[in-house]
A and B are shown apart, each in its own frame.
Chain A
Amino acid sequence: MSFVISIRNLSKTYSMGEQLVRALQSVSLDIGHGEFVSVIGPSGSGKSTLMHILGCLDRPSNGTYLLDGQDVSRLSDDEISRVRNRKIGFVFQGFNLLSRTSALENVELPLLYDSETRLTAAERRRAAMEALHTVGLQGRERHHPNQLSGGQQQRVAIARALMTRPSILLADEPTGNLDSQTSVDVMELFQRLNRERNLTIVLITHEHDVAAYGSRIIVFKDGRITSDEINDKRKATVTGSV
């Protein structure tokens, strides 16, 4: 079985003033195609750091990271930018949408920097519309982030993450800023994407409720994996569609 993500002995060390913080201590992990992995752990356990490294937003201090069999730690900045664009969809806790920019334009953004497919403006627009439909935001295309609710903003972010049909969707506490009902909606959306598109998802959370949506649960503590199990009591989607 070929893995989407394969990391070996990954470490990350920060210096906070005079103190060295070992955020990740020699972590090894394989994630296969179509898996929905929940990473759970208390804050400061290093799970966010792992996520940033997986998303190529940060670089590891040591170890190797193979994404689709490609060693990302050896790539140049431009190549990593392309990897971020083509292979990774990232959903943040704080949404990270461009303010004063419509939902549609936010969603289009990754296509703008996609130097391979070279879509025309009209094609980009159509693709963005489609993505917004997928996440259930038809009719909100022209709204700016400050005119949307938290749940809606997170859906825009998810639509944006899906635009370049990435190999993997990374979600960093995606429900952290949402109320419980909206959280359920968003989690069900993830689950549907995982099921219908066979999209590989890695999700970070500190809530067991949220982690329970995953097919595999990894527990993190003090920069190490303490448990890695298949979740057989997976939360079922209540409805067939969102």
Chain B
Amino acid sequence: MRRLERSLMQAVAALKKNKLQTALTMIGMTIGVATVLTMIALGRGAQGAISDQIRSAGMNLIVVTAGNYQAPRERLPDDAIEPSAWHPSREEGHLIKTLLHAEDDPMAVHDHPLASQRLGDSEAGLGAAATLTLSDAQEIRKIPAVQYVSPGVHMNAHIEGSSVRWFTRLHGDDVAQPSIRRAWVFPHGRYFNEREAEASEQVVVLGSVVSEKLFGSADPVGKTVKLWHQPFKVVGVIASGSWILQPEAGDDQFDAIYVPVTTVQRLLNLSKLNDITITTKSTGDVTRVVHAIADLLRRRHRINPKMPDDFTVSSQARKALASGGLRPEVAAAVVGNVSGLEKVTLDQLGKTLDRASQTMTALLISIAAVSLLVGGIGIMNVMMLSVTERTREIGILRAVGATARDVLSQFLLEAMGLSIVGGLLGIACGVVTSLLVTQLLHWSIDLSPIAVLVSFAISAAVGIFFGYYPARQAAKALPIESLRFES
């Protein structure tokens, strides 16, 4: 007890005496802890921001799909052709086989349901009922707080380049689509514009996968491709602007082509839509807009209050994803990035996001490790230098009768004092720095108590060890060796 008291007294006296050393060591400690803390806060903040962005990217998205799969069966429209009702005779079947025409040629004579007719299939379920029209979309546009509206018709189609034919996804969309899909970039050309959509011109925008398949790495803008045997002018190529989504064959966004919905309707003689994608100006408006759309469409479709909707408004498909075995944050990201679940290969997107999330976590861990290492080395240097410099002092203390334990407890207490005070200052500095960074640069940060604790503990441990170790060496040596030491 007496030794502790004495050592404490000596330690405090020594810290006071060696003001410059004390200050330097403490600054080293403070900077070490502050650096680690800030780096971890920024790293976690970045991770959080990215996942927030992924999540929020689609949070203001509302998708209205034709049909209502939860409602009881609708009455069949008069003009609907039920696939089950069409049983070709043996001769007819043979005829189909021998002729085998492409159903995506609107000019061909068909003896089985056309795509346009199948769009009217009430039997086909979600997204395939023919209840939504372009004028529905026009009316939705007038609802306050609505930002973008994109009426959509989706199908598969063959697209023909000069020599290659590629079976892909076709989206008949509005000019607003790039604004809704924020992660798109245009390596070549542009999206089709208002005038082209208005005039239902035969223009097409290629997804990067399609462009690659048809034209290799060449710039396809201005070239002509064939769709339903009709010439279409390529005006642009879409690629992903985000590392989260990598274009892959078979995906819904980049292995796809985009044509004005008006053009699709004109050529295929359609009047109905598969869905209408809507974004609101802010996430907070979503619920209100969802109700407004439902009211508007019920009114426009003259639905009896007792009858169910003939459309489905979904603002998030989380429920559908919850059972899909995806991690929650990945599921959320998927929900955020796709406007309709039926359109995406969940597995693929899920895997991509999983990889991205793993990369981010690894990155964060390495940032933390590197800053701990750097901070630790800084603390180690300062501590070792200042204690080594005092080897002579240790020799003097030993010469006047201090035991090795006396010296050690003094230096240990000094190192502990420095490390703890420096560490606490470091925490304060780190928190202030992090807050300043968010305030001034608007970077997101995430101060986790565990990160604070770990950086403090590791820095203090390093500080104490390297304050203790050289002191131990000096205290264990013969006093004359410490006295001879030249610093």
Contact = CB atoms under 8 A, between A and B. Distances in A.
A105 B396 CA distance: 13
Interface stretch (A94-102, A127-135, A187-195): A94-102
B141 to A, nearest CB: 80
A85 B483 CA distance: 16
A81 B478 contact: no
Given A52-B480, A96-B392, 16 more contacts: A57-B480, A77-B404, A82-B403, A84-B398, A84-B401, A85-B400, A90-B399, A96-B399, A96-B483, A100-B17, A110-B401, A112-B6, A113-B400, A113-B401, A113-B402, A118-B2
B291 interface: no
A164 interface: yes
Residue of B13, B396, B402 ringed by the most chain A CB atoms within 10 A: B396
A138 interface: no
A148 to B, nearest CB: 16
B330 to A, nearest CB: 61
9 contacts: A55-B399, A81-B401, A84-B399, A97-B396, A98-B17, A113-B400, A113-B406, A114-B401, A160-B400
A130 B474 CA distance: 32
B422 to A, nearest CB: 21
B348 interface: no
A89 B403 CA distance: 16
Contacts of B2: 115, 118
Given A52-B480, A58-B478, A112-B10, A81 B402 contact: yes
A86 interface: yes
A78 interface: yes
A114 B480 CA distance: 20
Contact of A101 (B17, B404, B405, B480): B17
A109 interface: yes
Interface of A: 52, 55-59, 77-78, 81-82, 84-86, 90, 92, 96-98, 100-101, 105, 109-110, 112-115, 118, 160, 164
Contacts of A85: 400-402
Contacts of B103: none
Contacts of B236: none
Nearest to B9: A112
Contacts of A160: 400
B401 A98 contact: no
A141 to B, nearest CB: 16
B393 interface: yes
A118 B405 CA distance: 18
B393 A113 contact: no
A85 B401 CA distance: 4
Nearest to A76: B403
A236 B397 CA distance: 35
Contact of A81 (B6, B10, B404, B483): B404
A52 B398 CA distance: 13
A78 B402 CA distance: 9
A57 B478 contact: yes
Nearest to A105: B13
Contacts of B483: 57, 92, 96
A122 B18 CA distance: 24
Contacts of A98: 17, 393, 396
B479 interface: yes
B345 to A, nearest CB: 73
A57 B480 CA distance: 5
Given A78-B405, A112-B6, A57 B400 contact: no
**Dominant secondary structure of chain B at its interface with chain A:** helix
Interface in B434-487: 478-480, 483
Contacts of B17: 98, 100-101
A78 B3 CA distance: 13
Closest 9 CB pairs of A and B: A85-B401, A81-B403, A57-B480, A113-B401, A57-B479, A100-B17, A110-B400, A58-B480, A113-B402
Nearest to A100: B17
B174 to A, nearest CB: 79
Contacts of A164: 401
A92 B482 CA distance: 14
B161 to A, nearest CB: 83
Contacts of A101: 13, 17
A92 B398 CA distance: 14
A78 B398 CA distance: 10
A81 B393 contact: no
A105 B392 CA distance: 17
A104 to B, nearest CB: 12
A100 B399 contact: no
A190 to B, nearest CB: 19
Contacts of B402: 81, 85, 113
Contacts of A109: 396-397, 400
Interface in B6-24: 6, 10, 13, 17-18
B400 to A, nearest CB: 4
A100 B18 CA distance: 7
Contacts of B403: 77-78, 81-82, 113
Nearest to A85: B401
A84 B478 contact: no
A7 B393 CA distance: 29
Interface string B11-44: 0010001100000000000000000000000000
B8 to A, nearest CB: 12
A238 B402 CA distance: 38
A80 to B, nearest CB: 9
A98 B480 CA distance: 16
Nearest to A53: B480
Contacts of B405: 78
B390 to A, nearest CB: 10
A241 to B, nearest CB: 27
A159 to B, nearest CB: 12
A114 B42 CA distance: 53
B400 A84 contact: yes
Contacts of A100: 17-18
Residue of B392, B401, B478, B483 ringed by the most chain A CB atoms within 10 A: B401
Contacts of A115: 2
A143 B10 CA distance: 19
A160 to B, nearest CB: 7
Contacts of A90: 399-400
B17 to A, nearest CB: 4
Contacts of B392: 96
A204 to B, nearest CB: 14
